[in-house]
Amino acid sequence: MKVLVFGAGQLAQMMYLAAVPLGVEVYAVDVNAREVVNPITKQKLDMSIEYAVSDVSVVTAEFEHVPEDLLGLAEKSGKLTPNMAAILTGADRVREKRVLQSSDIANCPHHIIDNIEQLNNSIASLGDKLIFKASRDGYDGYGQWRYTAPEDLPKLQQAFSSLDLSQVPLVAEKMLNFDREISLIGARDAQGNTACYEIAENLHYEGQLHVSIAPATALNAKIKQDAQAIFDRLANALSYVGVLSVEMFQMGEQLIVNEIAPRVHNSGHWTQKGADTCQFEQHMRAVLGFPLGDTQTHGVTAMVNIIGCTSFSRELISIPGCHLHWYGKELRAKRKMGHINVVAPSYFALGEKLMLLLEYLPAEYFPLLEKEAIRLKSLDA
């Protein structure tokens, strides 16, 4: 069997590595160059995108921002999984908000701004602390602006005046005083069966995910049940097939959906060593119609992103339960270069291993790690 992945980054690479043991061949599409490539070497393959679509069993995507004509080509073939509407929902915050509202799922109070004249009304209606997000092509903190005081308004007006808001509206969201961000990664097959992983707790720095801990600490039964209900409602509303990520803010006993990602997700990388079936294999299983895998966890896991950094010691893999995943990218500031998964039998043991890990890493690129290690060690004390 063959699968074609729109996108040729690290997620396509990890899908390839998970698919090989299943006897599945994976090709990738560099959507910018519009070339079919090997997901590992990135070497161009001697086939057109049209031929690749006709040759494979399934077409899927590693990210949401795929040109619509390519999605349309795959959708017309009947092989695109998840479907085009689901992928476009993840690519457009306006579509996403509409799906959340129509599914009666709590999300951040917001306004859609398609004219700069609406800016003052949004500030007056939503409060004195807002975040403005480009409805398309924003990620990792890019395409976002904050309003925290009246003196921010002139800068925002200047920034927004250069944008075509009629084509790419802004979503103005009220900044919420949430306790933490959590995410639920799960899969749904074509028959409507679902298999979800343990909820992960996500720690961000300057708009980027730096560390995920799974299972998240201090979870109660209500939060778990509510998160599962949100996942099921969204997956069913989108007629979804594949792995789906739902990021949520926890505010006491309430969950507010921040955003959804119709694909394998950074906050699910911990599943590579922390669960019986990793999210990449699970996605292949779901889109190909194979039985969904067991999502049982193995102890507790930390996923640590390596961002804008190559100057660390590979000797870190000497730590028991520590695994390096390198993407082979050219170094760039704020670029995700790889990640580290660390598995341990308890939160205390995980905290100890993260302290050891710091000995092999330049601390300035991992600003959250020491504090998190200390917190985890205190949980089982």
Q: Is the pLDDT of residue 347 over 70?
A: yes
Query: Which of the four CATH numbers 3.40.50.150, 3.40.1000.10, 3.30.470.20, 3.40.50.300 does domain 180-379 have?
Result: 3.30.470.20
Q: Is the pLDDT of residue 43 over 70?
A: yes
Domains 2-80 and 180-379 share a fold: no
Concatenated DSSP letters for 113-156? ESSGGGHHHHHHHH-S-EEEEESBS--TTTTEEEE-SGGGHHHH
Task: Report the run of H or E that residue 210 belongs to, with start and end.
Answer: strand 208-214
Q: Helix H segments across 238-297?
A: 271-274, 279-288
pLDDT for residue 156? 93
Reported as a pLDDT band with limits 50, 70 and 90, residue 59 is: very high
pTM greater than the 0.85 cutoff: yes
Q: Characterize the bridge pairing of strands 2-6 and 58-61.
A: parallel
CA–CA–CA angle 142, 147, 153 (5° rounding): 110
Residues forming a β-bridge with 214: 301
Q: Is the pLDDT of residue 74 over 80?
A: yes
Q: Is the pLDDT of residue 20 over 60?
A: yes
The domain ranges of the chain are: 2-80, 109-174, 180-379
Q: Using an 8 Å Cβ cutoff, are 15 and 39 in contact?
A: yes
Please list, in sequence order, all residues whose beta carbon lies within 8 angstroms of the beta carbon of residue 136, skipping any fewer than 6 positions away: 65, 91, 92, 93, 168
Over residues 268-303, the pLDDT tens digits come to 999 999 999 999 999 999 999 999 999 999 999 999
Region 143-157 average pLDDT: 91
Q: Is the pLDDT of residue 324 over 90?
A: yes
What is the rounded distance in angstroms from the CA atom of residue 199 to the CA atom of residue 311? 31
Q: Specify the 3-state DSSP secondary structure of 296.
A: coil
Region 20-36 average pLDDT: 97
Residue type, 223: I
Residues forming a β-bridge with 244: 186
Complete edge-to-edge strand list for the sheet that includes strand 2-6: 35-37, 25-30, 2-6, 58-61
Percent above pLDDT 90 for the chain: 92
Concatenated DSSP letters for 81-116? SS-HHHHHHHHBHHHHHHHHHHTT--B--EEEESSG
Q: Helix H segments across the chain?
A: 10-19, 49-55, 68-77, 84-91, 93-102, 119-126, 153-161, 221-237, 271-274, 279-288, 347-358, 369-379
Over residues 171-216, the pLDDT tens digits come to 999 999 999 999 999 999 999 999 999 999 999 998 899 999 999 9
Region 128-140 average pLDDT: 82
Burial class (CB in 10 A: 0-12, 13-18, 19+), 120: exposed
Taking domain 2-80, whether its CATH number is 3.40.50.20 is answered by yes
pLDDT for residue 259? 93
CATH T-level fold of 109-174? Dna Ligase; domain 1 (3.30.1490)
CA dihedral (87, 93, 95, 98) positive or negative:
positive
Q: Is the pLDDT of residue 127 over 90?
A: no
Mean pLDDT (the chain) is 95
Reported as a pLDDT band with limits 50, 70 and 90, residue 138 is: low
pLDDT for residue 139? 61
Concatenated DSSP letters for 19-38? HGGGT-EEEEEETTTTEEE-
- Number of H helices and E strands in the chain, helices first, is 12, 17
